[in-house]
Amino acid sequence: MSVIVETGSVNLAANSYVSETDLQAYAAARGITLVGDPTSLLLQAMDYLESCNFIGYKYKNNQNQNLQWPRADAWVDGWYCPITTIPIQLPKAQCAIACAIDAGNGPLIDIPRQTSLEKVGDLEVQYRPGAAPVVINRIINAELHKLLVNGGALSVTKA
């Protein structure tokens, strides 16, 4: 399957907000070397994005619209986001999610039971009381919070 980018035109075949080249440029600018296939990483990132509860509603309430964006009645930072616009935070979020998936910390990873104490031979692991059971991916949270209803919840990923 190839990546077809949504630009705000309501392309019914679209399956991404960024291209493979965009993802590679995002990663390179942050000193990240991707190991996985960029197409696969972007499509997996879209699996997560499509599960989010975004502000506004699908353009013209088009039930055939493949992706959640573009959307109508969406306000970002107090400004109306035109219906034919994909907010800049969305492509950045998709790239951040794809990079997290590539690093093994994607937001859709199953979360195992938290270990409070584990001992194998001389090696012992114990988590600090009150520590999160998973890694909190603040980059994903930062990119998405303005686009989600009520700012969304914390995006957590496996440690």
DSSP result, 39-107: HHHHHHHHHHHTTS-BSSEEGGG-TT-SSS-SEES-EETTEE--TT---THHHHHHHHHHHHHHTT--T
Query: In the prediction, which pLDDT does 157 show?
Result: 44
Query: In the prediction, which pLDDT does 36 show?
Result: 97
Alpha carbons 155 and 135: distance in angstroms, whole number: 9
Average pLDDT over residues 12-35: 97
Average pLDDT over residues 56-61: 78
**Host domain of residue 91:** 20-157
| pLDDT grade for 55, boundaries at 50, 70 and 90 | very high
Average pLDDT over residues 60-72: 82
Q: Does residue 39 sit within a domain?
A: yes
Q: Does residue 97 sit within a domain?
A: yes
Please state, rounded to an integer, the average pLDDT across all residues of the chain: 84
The total number of structural domains that make up the chain? 1
Q: Does residue 49 sit within a domain?
A: yes
pTM listed for this prediction: 0.78
Average pLDDT over residues 123-146: 71
| pLDDT grade for 154, boundaries at 50, 70 and 90 | very low
For residue range 102-114, list pLDDT tens digits in order: 999 888 876 655 6
Q: Does residue 6 sit within a domain?
A: no
Alpha carbons 71 and 159: distance in angstroms, whole number: 34
Query: In the prediction, which pLDDT does 117 show?
Result: 67
Q: Does residue 8 sit within a domain?
A: no
Q: Does residue 42 sit within a domain?
A: yes
**pLDDT > 90 fraction of the chain, expressed in percent and rounded:** 54
Q: Does residue 93 sit within a domain?
A: yes
Q: Does residue 50 sit within a domain?
A: yes
| pLDDT grade for 155, boundaries at 50, 70 and 90 | very low
